[in-house]
Amino acid sequence: MNLADSEEMAAHLQLRGYTKTENLDDADLVLVNTCTVRDHAEHRALSFLGRLRQWKREKCGRKIIFAGCAAQRLGNKLKKTFPQLDLVSGAKEIDGFAELLDASGFFPPETAAHAANTKETGVTGYVTIMRGCDFACSYCIVPSVRGPVQCLPSKDILAKAAQKANQGYPEIMLLGQTVNAWKELDKTFADLLNDVSALPHVQRVRFVSPHPAFITPQFLACVENNAKIARHIHLPVQSGSSKVLRDMKRGYTRETLLEKLDALKARGFAVSTDLIVGFPTETEEDFEDTLSLVQQAGFSAAYCFKYSPRAGTPAAQMPLLPEKTLEKRLNILLNKVKGLAEAAYGAQAGKKKEVLMETPNKGRTSDNFWAETKKSYTIGTIVCSEVDQAKGTLLLMRD
Ligand code: 5AD
Ligand code: SF4
């Protein structure tokens, strides 16, 4: 989501005559797009902002824009602590970003003459389909910084996806905080997936991040019948203990979750996930449940986080577990998940795969494995081949 938002904001800057650079010394403007989901993320953004003070002093006219969720949470009071800031644009204000630039008076007005070709390298075009979240997970700051769910109209989504596909992105990635909560009257997320995948030139559709609550029989029936929907899902489960899931207010139990994971695996999906350790009510036994869930679920990857209290969330009122307990549990879990990716790659030998080429001889399979072909192919085409063997986290294909 942040990548897509950054691209959108960059496009508005390009329309005002800016071009992208990877080099801070060459830059006239830095846009810092931020995350606040854990304290660590916000802290990194703010310390980067601190370092930009010197950068700004080095050349007259340099500008700094601070955007995204940390900007939303901290607001204009940031300008007091960081006087080097020119503009603060919260995550909720992305639709008004162009107006904000124009109202600031710092930037040249939009001109068609400056309209740059914004095509990124790579094969995946991002399309935001919804923003915000209607859940109220007790640890999470997202609903308060991003607000309630706002679904984009299907006609705008399809127009954007068609545009991306025509620009040469054969893979479309649909984005949203709870992406599969998307709906429009009778239309569900499954219907939208079918519509996007039916657009000319769309070869593959991915989405991130879904919530387990919307992995419904209708969704499963849709993906089963639609081979263009990638066979990988990043489904954050957070914990393997029904008690902790209840205290987190996730709305599912270990048992209902395992049923959904089994249904996905039965349809050929590789599943990766997010896990939190050290939620305030997590006992040793609950943590063991998370370890056993990882074992049972066969995730292809898992991102593991130490619980981070976020101001204003219900869980932030609860007494914290000792830091050394969090450290210990995180290390045990990280050790447990360390081998997951290699094991998942190792289990692919002999299977037939469709590889969407991202370089002349490397690409991604539908179930999201990184694969290398023997021959060279045109970037953006899908190559059907059999897996010879895995080399670490790379599949070596026969063709
Ligand atoms: N502490 C730790 N991890 C968190 N996440 C969200 N909020 C918190 C928090 N307060 C994690 C979840 C989510 C991912 C994006 O960040 O695992 O899926
Ligand atoms: Fe946060 Fe829960 Fe919403 Fe995900 S579903 S964004 S964890 S409140």
Ligand closest to CA 277 = 1
pLDDT at 117: 46
Mutation test of ligand 1: which of 73, 140, 235 has the most ligand atoms closer than 8 Å to its C-beta?
Answer: 140
Ligand closest to CA 146 = 2
Backbone angles phi, psi at 87, to 5 degrees: -150, 135
CB 33 less than 6 A from any atom of ligand 2: no
- Tens digit of each residue's pLDDT, the chain (399 residues): 889 999 999 999 999 989 999 999 999 999 999 999 999 999 999 999 999 999 999 999 999 999 999 999 999 889 899 999 999 999 999 999 999 999 998 888 877 554 444 455 689 999 999 999 999 999 999 999 999 999 999 999 999 999 999 999 999 999 999 999 999 999 999 999 999 999 999 999 999 999 999 999 999 999 999 999 999 999 999 999 999 999 999 999 999 999 999 999 999 999 999 999 999 999 999 999 999 999 999 999 999 999 999 999 999 999 999 999 999 999 999 999 999 999 999 999 999 999 999 999 999 999 999 999 999 999 999 999 999 999 999 999 998
H helix or E strand, kind and range, residue 382? strand 382-390
CB 238 less than 6 A from any atom of ligand 1: yes
CB 106 less than 6 A from any atom of ligand 2: no
Residues counted in the chain: 399
The residues, any chain, with a CB within 8 Å of residue 343's CB and separated by 6 or more, are none
- Of 90, 50, 42, 39, give the one whose Cα is nearest residue 66: 90
Residue 211 burial by CB count (10 A; 0-12/13-18/19+): exposed, middle or buried?
A: buried
Question: What pTM value is reported for the model?
Answer: 0.92
Mutation test of ligand 2: which of 35, 135, 310 has the most ligand atoms closer than 8 Å to its C-beta?
Answer: 135
pLDDT at 326: 98
Instruction: Tell me the Cα Rg of the chain.
Output: 22
pLDDT at 112: 58
CA distance 16 to 79: 24
- Half-sphere exposure (CA, 13 Å, Cβ side) for 233? 26
Mutation test of ligand 1: which of 249, 276, 303 has the most ligand atoms closer than 8 Å to its C-beta?
Answer: 276
